[in-house]
Amino acid sequence: MRGSLAEAATGGDRGSPAAGRATDTPPGTVPHPVRTVGVVGAGTMGNGIAHVFAQSGREVRLVDADPAALTRARDTIARNLERQARRGALARPAEEVLARIDSRGELEALAGVDLVVEAIVEDPAAKLRLFRELDGLVGGGILASNTSAISITRLGAATRRPARVVGMHFMNPVPVMPLVEVVSGLDTSADVTERIVALCRELGKSPVVVRDSPGFVSNRVLMPMINEAVFCLAEGVADAPAIDEVLQLGMRHPLGPLALADLIGLDVCLAILEVLHAELGEDKYRPCPLLRRMVAAGHLGRKSGRGFHAYPEAGA
């Protein structure tokens, strides 16, 4: 699928213009190119998303409720830009790219941006609350979510602009991975989906359009595999290095499923499985109790320094 674009899944502009719409932009139309981008959530994904938009020459406002997350995000972006610069992979000086990112604590910084990409915690209630707030703050722009599994249709319905709500599901690590799964909600307009597809290409990414469905394609396929690997570990079928080795050496996966879960974050994996289980209602998506215990213990993977493997250099 890499480099390919699945058939656009929307059936035209189905956004019904709600009475009392706050903006003067017709629903589902995007009158100008995306020049300024707000990113909400400066964690694992948010810092990478801010990085790629700034690298493409756009002004970025990065917002997080936790000031420490903003500091960590800037440090990570600076380190990753330096690495790219050393390899000759940056068209602009690293300092210039970093200077395009304005880190803030308040959502109000997002008034007037052309696009917001939400990358906060994978919690439906938190995301719905944020989308309601963003709807009142951000003029005629597009609201995108980087959610791994939560319904884009549901997020759109929390706003008065469902035609301009879309999924932009970047992969981890964002500056490196080519795929963006573009998720078209029931009421996302075809115009917005196409604009986001074009934008992804401008970022040097390979967009694939999918319909809104729990976990989309990526996590509906990936998470049951990760969950099954955790069950294998819990049942003592093999230890973590052996389970990962089987998939790496036998199926040519660059990372084994447990190492990949550590990279994604075990809390994120659990949250995705919970959405799949609740929404699709099948036992095959039931999160392994060991995964729940790991999250309860705070062993979240790379970001906490310990998951199925140990990361002594991280988690500080």
Ligand X SMILES: NC(=O)c1ccc[n+]([C@@H]2O[C@H](COP(=O)([O-])OP(=O)(O)OC[C@H]3O[C@@H](n4cnc5c(N)ncnc54)[C@H](O)[C@@H]3O)[C@@H](O)[C@H]2O)c1
Catalog residues that contact ligand X under the rule CB under 6 A: 40-46, 63-66, 69, 119-122, 126, 130, 146-148, 169, 172, 264-265, 268, 303
Q: Any residues with CB less than 8 A from the CB of 93 and at least 6 apart, and which?
A: 85
Specify the residue, 69 or 203, whose C-beta has the smaller distance to ligand X.
69
Q: Which of 169, 274, 299, 304 is catalytic?
A: 169
Specify the residue, 265 or 287, whose C-beta has the smaller distance to ligand X.
265
Q: Among this protein's residues, is 80 annotated catalytic?
A: no
Q: How far is the CB of 110 from ligand X (least distance, A)?
A: 11
CA 63 to CA 69: how far, in whole Å? 9
Q: How far is the CB of 209 from ligand X (least distance, A)?
A: 17
187-206 in b/e form (b: 16+ CB < 10 A) is bbbbbbbbbbbebbeebebb
Q: Which of 56, 80, 148, 184 is catalytic?
A: 148
Q: Among this protein's residues, is 219 annotated catalytic?
A: yes
Using alpha carbons, select from 47, 53, 120, 58 the residue that is nearest to residue 80: 47
Q: Among this protein's residues, is 309 annotated catalytic?
A: no
Strands annotated E in 185-295? 206-211
Q: How far is the CB of 109 from ligand X (least distance, A)?
A: 11
Residue with token string 């020049």: 35
Q: How far is the CB of 275 from ligand X (least distance, A)?
A: 9
Q: Please calculate the CA angle 255-257-258 and round it to the nearest 5 degrees.
A: 100
Specify the residue, 66 or 235, whose C-beta has the smaller distance to ligand X.
66
Residue 193 has phi, psi (to 5 degrees) of: -60, -45
In the complex, which residue's CB is closest to ligand X?
43
Q: Among this protein's residues, is 51 annotated catalytic?
A: no
Q: How far is the CB of 231 from ligand X (least distance, A)?
A: 21
Distance of CA 171 to the CA centre of its chain: 7
In sequence order, the β-bridge partners of residue 168 are: 182
Specify the residue, 52 or 120, whose C-beta has the smaller distance to ligand X.
120
Query: What is the DSSP-derived secondary structure letter of residue 134?
Result: H
Q: Which of 219, 274, 277, 304 is catalytic?
A: 219
Specify the residue, 121 or 310, whose C-beta has the smaller distance to ligand X.
121
The answer to whether 205 and 193 are in contact (CB under 8 A) is no
Residue 250's SS3 state is helix
Q: Which of 103, 122, 151, 181 is catalytic?
A: 181
Tell me the catalytic residues: 148, 169, 181, 219
